[in-house]
Amino acid sequence: MKNIYKLALIAILAFSVLHADTRLQKIVQKGELVLGTSGNMTPMTRSINGGKDAVGFDIDLAKTMADTMGVELVVKVMDFNKLIPALSSGKVDIVLSNMTITPKRNTKVAFVGPYLKSGKCLITKKASLASAQKEELNKAFNKIVVIKGSTSEDFVKIGMPKVKAITVESEEKAINMVRKSKVSAMLTDYPVCVSVVANNPKDNFIPIPSTFLSYEPIGVAIAPQNTHLLNWTQNFMIRANEVGLFEVLGEKWLSR
């Protein structure tokens, strides 16, 4: 008799697992897609309303995803290095934050993309460095400011070992350090670099695109167990590319 009860219990549990709602279905039922973003990488993501919301390329892309699902987008702005833990713990459904797809990050979360490919760029006030090569940059800069937890931090530590990487949590802090000559430059992704220079004309910042190898594939981060959401996002990205969504967003946010 006990064995019959055990078999019945196993059957019930198996049935429950098979019919459990997926993360995507729960998003639709709740009516909310929760986005995690750093809000400190203009024009991809910039916080507004005291850090309660954000705007940018990534935010518009997430809003389009939410609209397509038929739900509202809820934006949670947090430090960049807290995004993957928030995704892994289920506090957010997806991460869109100019996040580079790296092998290390990919061991923790799944990625859909890239939806954008970029490279590194330096922001400085030293005009003499505009044509400098890798070794010259390695010698010329003694301190470079980067966003904590970003690939820019790894890039300086690995690719420019003679340079000290100063880490900060916000884009504005990094810009201010260059403005006040507390560091030689800021290292970031190219779209961010262009935006910083364009939005701060009085500072006479100079953008220096990386003259050495730099590949930054940007993707959507999703918890690996959420296969239904992963599949949906993959199909969404294919459709978005085919209908020209990325060109529209690029014209709006990256052509400034």
pLDDT of residue 20: 63
If pLDDT is split at 50, 70 and 90, which confidence band does 15 have? very low
pLDDT of residue 245: 96
* Residue-wise burial string across 151-182, b where 16 or more C-beta atoms lie within 10 A, e elsewhere: bbbebbeebbeebebbbbbbbeebbbbbbeee
Structural domain boundaries in the chain: 22-116+218-253, 120-209
Q: State mean pLDDT over 234-249.
A: 96
Q: Does domain 120-209 have CATH number 3.40.228.10?
A: no
Kindly tell me the sign of the dihedral angle through the C-alpha atoms of 97, 103, 108, 110.
positive
Q: What is the pLDDT of residues 50-93, one digit of tens each?
A: 889 999 999 999 999 999 999 999 999 999 999 999 999 999 99
Q: What is the pLDDT of residues 110-123, one digit of tens each?
A: 999 999 998 888 89
The answer to whether the beta carbons of residues 110 and 214 sit under 8 Å apart is no
pLDDT over 50 (residue 9): no
Per-chain mean pLDDT for the chain: 87
Q: What is the pLDDT of residues 208-229, one digit of tens each?
A: 876 555 788 999 999 999 999 9
Q: List the one residue out of 216, 220, 237 whose CA is nearest residue 110.
A: 220
DSSP element (H, E) containing 15: helix 2-18
**Cα 131 to Cα 216: distance, rounded to the nearest angstrom:** 22
DSSP state of 94: E
Structure tokens given for 174: 């990094």
Kindly tell me the sign of the dihedral angle through the C-alpha atoms of 215, 216, 220, 221.
positive
199 CB contacts (<8 Å, ≥6 apart)? Answer: 42
**Cα 142 to Cα 100: distance, rounded to the nearest angstrom:** 25
Top pLDDT among 136 and 61 is at: 61
Report which listed range, 99-113, 142-156, 179-193, is most confident: 99-113
For residue 207, the cross-strand partners are 123
Half-sphere exposure of 1 (CA within 13 A, CB side): 0
Q: Options 3.40.190.10, 3.90.1010.10, 3.40.50.11290, 1.10.12.10; which CATH number does 22-116+218-253 get?
A: 3.40.190.10
Kindly tell me the sign of the dihedral angle through the C-alpha atoms of 147, 152, 155, 160.
negative
Assess whether the region 22-116+218-253 and the region 120-209 belong to the same CATH fold: yes
